Amino acid sequence: MYYNQKEAVSQTAMNLLDLQDYSNVNLDHLRELEITNMSSVKPELDFVKLILAKSPMLQKVGIVLDNQVAVASEVKMLRDLLQFQRASTKAEIALYVAHYLLKKMVIAHKTTSSRFRSELLKLDRASPNAK
């Protein structure tokens, strides 16, 4: 029998998210969030989505990606993060991409989405792993 711990944890987290109602969650005092070694699994993105939606005072979100995350997954994650609803109009998302020689930082503002998208394309084309 095959057992994959990462899949089991991921499935458990998804079930937990499906079962609980987060309408009573308020993170009114949260101003900064830092996540390290983030991969591109759905429960992690759902967690960030929840934090963004429930934190009206949030100013900075720093995410350091795991070095195993592929470039295509990074770009998809950036696009997803940009589209998430935010309770705070001042929330900035800084995504640190671990596998670049010089770590790149992209700041996603809702008001500068076109500039952000052009930066995504530049990063995608300049990546040593781009196909």
Average per-residue pLDDT for the chain = 72
Is residue 99 within 8 Å of 109, Cβ to Cβ?
no
* pLDDT for the residue numbered 32: 93
- Concatenated DSSP letters of 29-86: T--EEEEEEE---HHHHHHHHHHHHH-TT--EEEEEEPTT--HHHHHHHHHHHHHS--
Residue 89 pairs with which residues in a beta bridge?
A: none
Per-residue model confidence as pLDDT tens digits over 66-92: 888 887 888 888 888 888 888 898 888
Q: What is the reported pTM?
A: 0.62
